[in-house]
Amino acid sequence: MHDHAKGNRKGRAGRKANDVKADLIAVVVAVINRDPCVLTIGLEAVLPSGPFELAHRSLQSGVRVWVEQRTGQPLGYIEQLYTFADRDRIGADERAISISYLALTREEDATSSTRRCWGTWYDYFPWEDHRSGTPAMVGDVLRPRLFDWAHNAADSATRLERRRRAGVAFGFDDRAWNEELALQRYELLYEAGLVEEATRDHGSTALVSVPGRPMIADHRRILATGIARLRSKIKYRPVVFELMPPVFTLLQLQRTVEALAGRLINKPNFRRLVEQQELVEETGETSVETGGRPAKLYRFRHAVLDESIAAGTKLPLARG
């Protein structure tokens, strides 16, 4: 009897030691006033999330339930993003798995309240917005700090590798800027101890972080993952239209793509690509909101999703 009770206690202890918590977390994006914005909760920079429960029909339906319950924000397009399960992501004594989702909604559906707020993702990643050229902070702040970090490595091979990684990620040493490397850039800054989350997680009191609003736990890393995914996805699938109103001008479409990519697009090339791929169709109406001559209004050609060319549909980022 004693051995049996002891075995039960050991069993319960073993189960407790192996218990993990599964959370669902959403990167909800809208383009508001020509800026890519992310939905957060309360005064802190917290992405909407909640535990996966047995009552949820599926992971995706669980995300929709939690986001709508916590923020009142309905979701449109949604896709699974990534599963975060690093041992030390929330604390040494806990193990939490976060299954993240990327969700898109339109500007007219994106409203703020006491429960939710929208903020541009460039508040969190100011080095990512190149629409007005390379931000001064990239050369004035990030370059010297990353090169110092590389120089302080223990051996020459590590020094060279760190400098190479910084060059590739941030476009140093005459390399091209690649907007899709948003996650690699954040993780490099974290590794170098240059973002507030790194000093917080490592218990450091010397704050040498670069500009950029921090987020709770590893939510800024999750947001960077969503940015990288969306920047890549708009080049080969027409998901950008999930962010557009029902009718729009080609200039509005271009500005939305530029907002997401963080860089400008060559206007003639962009229009030629959109029209050649038959992604849009004219409505027969015009808009005078541009302030100039009336601009044609278009709508997304939903039939393109059902056609055999859909798998190859591209909305590339044309270089200016």
SS (H, E, C) the chain: CHHHHHHHHHHHHHHHHHCCEEEEEEEEEEEECCEEEEEEECCCCECCEEECCCCCCCHHHHHHHHHHHHHCCCCCCEEEEEEECCCCCCCCCCCEEEEEEEEECCHHHCCCCCCEEEEEHHHCCHHHCCECECCHHHHHHHHHHHHHHHHCCCCHHHHHHHHHHHHHHHCCCCCCCCHHHHHHHHHHHHHCCCCHHHHHHCCCCCCCCCCCCCCCCCHHHHHHHHHHHHHHHCCCCCHHHHHCCCCECHHHHHHHHHHHHCCCECHHHHHHHHHHCCCEEEEEEEECCCCCCCEEEEEECHHHHCCHHHHHCCCCCCEC
Confidence class of residue 93 from pLDDT cuts 50, 70 and 90?
low
* pLDDT of amino acid 276: 86
Tell me the C-alpha distance between 13 and 21, whole Å.
16
Percent of the chain scoring above 90 in pLDDT: 57
- Whether 12 has a pLDDT exceeding 50, the answer reads no
* pLDDT of amino acid 185: 98
Neighbours of 303 (CB within 10 A): 10
pTM of the full predicted structure?
0.87
Average pLDDT over residues 144-157: 96
How confident is the model over 258-288, as pLDDT tens digits? 999 999 999 999 999 888 888 999 999 998 7
Confidence class of residue 154 from pLDDT cuts 50, 70 and 90?
very high
How confident is the model over 168-199, as pLDDT tens digits? 999 999 999 999 999 999 999 999 999 999 98
Mean pLDDT (the chain) is 85
Residue 11 vs residue 166, higher pLDDT: 166
Q: What topology is assigned to 237-312 in CATH?
A: Arc Repressor Mutant, subunit A (1.10.10)
Confidence class of residue 313 from pLDDT cuts 50, 70 and 90?
low
How confident is the model over 27-51, as pLDDT tens digits? 999 999 999 999 999 777 899 988 8
* pLDDT of amino acid 17: 46
Task: For residue 8, give the amino acid letter.
Answer: N
Task: For residue 120, give the amino acid letter.
Answer: T
* pLDDT of amino acid 200: 85
Residue 134: closest CA among 262, 228, 32: 262
**In the chain, domain spans:** 13-121, 126-212, 237-312
How confident is the model over 61-80, as pLDDT tens digits? 778 887 888 888 888 899 99
* pLDDT of amino acid 197: 92
* pLDDT of amino acid 76: 86
For the domain bounded by 13-121, which CATH number is listed? 3.90.79.10
